[in-house]
């Protein structure tokens, strides 16, 4: 099993290009099930989760070609089955994103129920409710969601009582080929949902309300082949900006989408970073001590849960007390115990972490990654810890960060990946 060994204490400086967004690439790949012919995608990030989604589609008989630059062509015209198998779904919950498009296009789908998850119970009830509202019969048996819509799906009104990102995406993909109009209320407004909508509209879908809480979809008979470029990954960008805020130094991130990062950039400024935006580049400069920042996670456009762990790391080396409240996932604090082992002064009470930060408080320790963003927080902690931090189970980080050690080393970090 791969490990990362990080020598702490190096300032970071230089420039990076943001990779394509994982959480946009996954639904966009699933949307290829909706059209007759090829979907051509560029800026696909080279990540384990993306490979898993490609395998899910490949196991149904999709024809996929990928060149060295990760330009991908996918053709789902000759599927042999509509089953997302447990062996793949258990490694990535987002596999459930094939449910909506399979039902819309083929009138049937079998998708393994995703099991438990390190960051919370994460049920899929909202996804199933949407499919039922659109007229599908849905049962769960033998560990599988079995859904069918013999007469096709019918437009309807869907109200989410909890905002769900992939739930909204599944509902949109199911509704694009449904008969009539679907209105989704209390929809997720994450930029990745907009990216999916833009791609579907390029294919000929009729979706309005992008970026708002109410999305209207006028069903169409079919979608046409298209080419689409995946948006940049805002969480990857935010993670590197946070790293440099912690180590000191300066960084430019090109090909980013600054306007999707307002809530995070505000908090980094509050921590003392100087930030300049130029078109699609973000420049950050940090010197001096880090001010502690209070965070409460919430759906977009508020502070993303996917940056909560990284900000706990930042607060451990800030100058004073802060609180971090997690409102989206009940168990997303697995990194806290590991950060405490590195010297972080953190106490947990329910969904709130109280951090008593101090410059230089982190030291090396062998630690274990438990999920994707938890791993990122340990890498950031390792960059500023005294001595050599060894992070085990690093496969979690390869699910969502492309060549993380290469990118950080290009800025002056000293990180080595060891196998075994
Ligand atoms: N929820 C339900 N029932 C459902 C679906 C969700 O109760 O059927 C609850 C969840 O348990 C959670 C809340 O609703 O408490 C919101 O979860 P959501 O459905 O929005 O999460 P998701 O769609 O499964 C996506 C991202 C996550 C990100 C969350 C929140 C993808 C592929 N995943 O997950 O990304 O944390 O939205 O923004 O888009 C990551 O990249 O590390 C990651 C976990």
Ligand 1 atom closest to the CA of 169, numbered from 1:
23
Ligand 1 atom closest to the CA of 188, numbered from 1:
20
Question: How much is the pLDDT for 420?
Answer: 74
Q: How confident is the model at residue 66 (pLDDT cuts 50, 70, 90)?
A: confident
pLDDT at residue 14 tops 90: yes
Question: How much is the pLDDT for 370?
Answer: 87
pLDDT at residue 198 tops 80: yes
pLDDT at residue 117 tops 70: no
- Helix H or strand E encompassing 379: helix 372-384
Q: Quickly count: other Cβ atoms within 10 Å of residue 199's Cβ.
A: 23
Residues 236 and 43 sit within 8 Å (Cβ to Cβ): no
- Mean pLDDT for 34-39 is 94
Find the range with the poorest average confidence among 61-70, 78-87, 117-126, 357-366.
Answer: 117-126
Share of the chain above pLDDT 70, in %: 99
Q: How confident is the model at residue 246 (pLDDT cuts 50, 70, 90)?
A: very high
Find the range with the poorest average confidence among 28-32, 211-215, 392-396, 403-407.
Answer: 392-396
Ligand 1 atom closest to the CA of 166, numbered from 1:
23
Tens of pLDDT, residues 259-280: 999 999 999 999 999 999 999 9
Q: Which two tokens stand for residue 19?
A: 């990779």
Residues 170 and 197 sit within 8 Å (Cβ to Cβ): no
Residues 46 and 404 sit within 8 Å (Cβ to Cβ): no
pLDDT at residue 118 tops 80: no
How far, in Å, is the centroid of ligand 1 from the Cα of 271? Answer: 27
Find the range with the poorest average confidence among 108-122, 130-144, 188-202, 405-419.
Answer: 108-122
Q: Is 130 a catalytic site residue?
A: no
If we measure between CA atoms, which residue out of 177, 113, 172 comes closest to residue 146? 113
pLDDT at residue 223 tops 80: yes
- Mean pLDDT for 367-374 is 92
CA quadruple 248, 251, 256, 258: dihedral sign: positive
d(C-alpha 190, C-alpha 203), whole Å = 21
pLDDT at residue 16 tops 90: yes
d(C-alpha 255, C-alpha 144), whole Å = 40
- 370 CB less than 6 Å from ligand 1? no
pLDDT at residue 300 tops 90: yes
Who has greater pLDDT, 186 or 70? Answer: 186
Question: How much is the pLDDT for 116?
Answer: 63
Question: How much is the pLDDT for 122?
Answer: 78
pLDDT at residue 70 tops 90: no
Average predicted confidence (pLDDT) for the chain: 96
Q: Which two tokens stand for residue 53?
A: 């989604």
- 200 CB less than 6 Å from ligand 1? no
- Catalytic entry in 15, 17, 117, 185: 117
């Amino acid at each position: 099993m791969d490990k990362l060994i990080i020598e702490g204490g190096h300032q970071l400086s230089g420039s990076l290009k943001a990779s394509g967004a994982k959480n946009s690439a996954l639904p966009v790949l699933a949307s290829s099930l909706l059209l007759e012919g090829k979907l051509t995608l560029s800026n696909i990030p080279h990540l384990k989760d993306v490979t898993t989604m490609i395998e899910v589609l490949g196991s149904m008989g999709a024809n996929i070609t990928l060149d060295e630059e990760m330009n991908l062509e996918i053709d789902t015209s000759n599927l042999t089955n509509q089953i997302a198998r447990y062996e793949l779904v258990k490694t990535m919950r987002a596999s459930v994103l094939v449910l909506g498009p399979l039902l819309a296009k083929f009138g049937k789908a079998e998708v393994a129920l995703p099991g438990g998850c390190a960051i919370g119970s994460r049920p899929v009830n909202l996804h199933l409710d949407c499919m039922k509202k659109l007229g599908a019969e849905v049962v769960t048996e033998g560990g599988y969601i079995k859904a069918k819509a013999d007469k096709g799906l019918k437009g309807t009104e869907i109200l989410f009582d909890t905002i769900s990102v992939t739930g909204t995406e599944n509902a949109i993909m199911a509704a694009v080929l449904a008969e009539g109009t679907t209105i989704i209320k209390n929809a997720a407004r994450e930029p990745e949902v907009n990216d999916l909508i833009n791609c579907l509209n390029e294919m000929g879908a009729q979706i309005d309300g992008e970026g708002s809480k109410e999305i209207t979809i006028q069903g169409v008979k079919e979608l046409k082949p298209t080419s689409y470029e995946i948006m940049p990954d805002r969480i990857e960008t935010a993670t590197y900006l946070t790293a440099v805020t912690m180590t000191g130094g300066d960084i430019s991130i090109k090909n980013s989408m600054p306007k999707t990062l307002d809530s995070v950039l505000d908090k980094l400024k509050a921590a003392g970073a100087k930030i300049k935006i130029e078109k699609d580049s973000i420049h950050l400069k940090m010197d001096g001590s880090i001010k502690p920042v209070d965070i409460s996670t919430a759906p977009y456009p508020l502070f993303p849960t996917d940056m909560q762990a990284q900000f706990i790391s930042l607060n451990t080396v800030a100058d004073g007390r802060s609180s971090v409240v997690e409102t989206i996932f009940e168990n997303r604090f697995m990194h806290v115990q590991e950060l405490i082992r590195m010297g972080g002064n953190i106490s947990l009470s329910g969904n709130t972490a109280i951090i008593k930060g101090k410059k230089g408080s982190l030291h090396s320790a062998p630690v274990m990654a438990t999920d994707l963003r938890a791993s990122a927080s340990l890498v950031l902690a390792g960059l500023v810890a005294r001595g050599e931090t060894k992070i085990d189970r690093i496969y979690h980080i390869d699910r969502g960060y492309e060549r993380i050690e290469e990118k950080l080393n290009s800025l002056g970090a000293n990180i080595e990946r060891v196998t075994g």
